[in-house]
Amino acid sequence: MDDKEASTSAVTPPMKVRRTCYYDVDWKSRFSWLHKCDEDNTKSYCKLCKTTLTVTYDGVKALTQHINTALSQRMNTFFTPKGSARSEKVSIAELAEVYHSIKYQILYVAQDCSLKVLKQVITDSEIVNK
């Protein structure tokens, strides 16, 4: 029985000890969107998406993964997919606005202001918001 126990313990690898990471002040210079979380020094706060990030086990890796994911999500919501029906409608609306402003010699500042007002007034239209 002792030989059997010795052989199974030799096969089982030792448990991997994970190192705990804490917020590093130097990260602020590398990641301008990052703040230290007041309640826990193993967490940080993202100003862009207003969420708390845990850096306990991954440290800088967690921060770089977060910013890559956050930026790609923001970019996908800002731009319309090329060749889609919505993209064509947005292009037609933009061309109509440019044509209208040139034909009636509307100042760029006035045109920009009217687009901002339209975005506030017509909130249910994706085309106006794009």
CA gap 129, 118 in Å, rounded:
8
- DSSP per residue over 47-76, as a string? TTTTEEEE-TTTTHHHHHHHHHHHHHHHHH
CA–chain centroid gap for 114, Å, is: 29
DSSP state of 32: T
User: Lowest mean pLDDT: which of 40-44, 61-65, 75-79?
Assistant: 75-79
Please give the single-letter amino acid code of residue 93: A
> What's the pTM?
0.46
Give the model's pLDDT for residue 104: 92
Mean pLDDT across 125-130:
80
Burial tier of 89 (Cβ tally within 10 Å: 0-12, 13-18, 19+): middle
Residues 121, 46: Cα–Cα separation, whole Å: 30
Tell me the average pLDDT of the chain.
Answer: 81
Does residue 36 sit in helix, strand or coil? Answer: strand
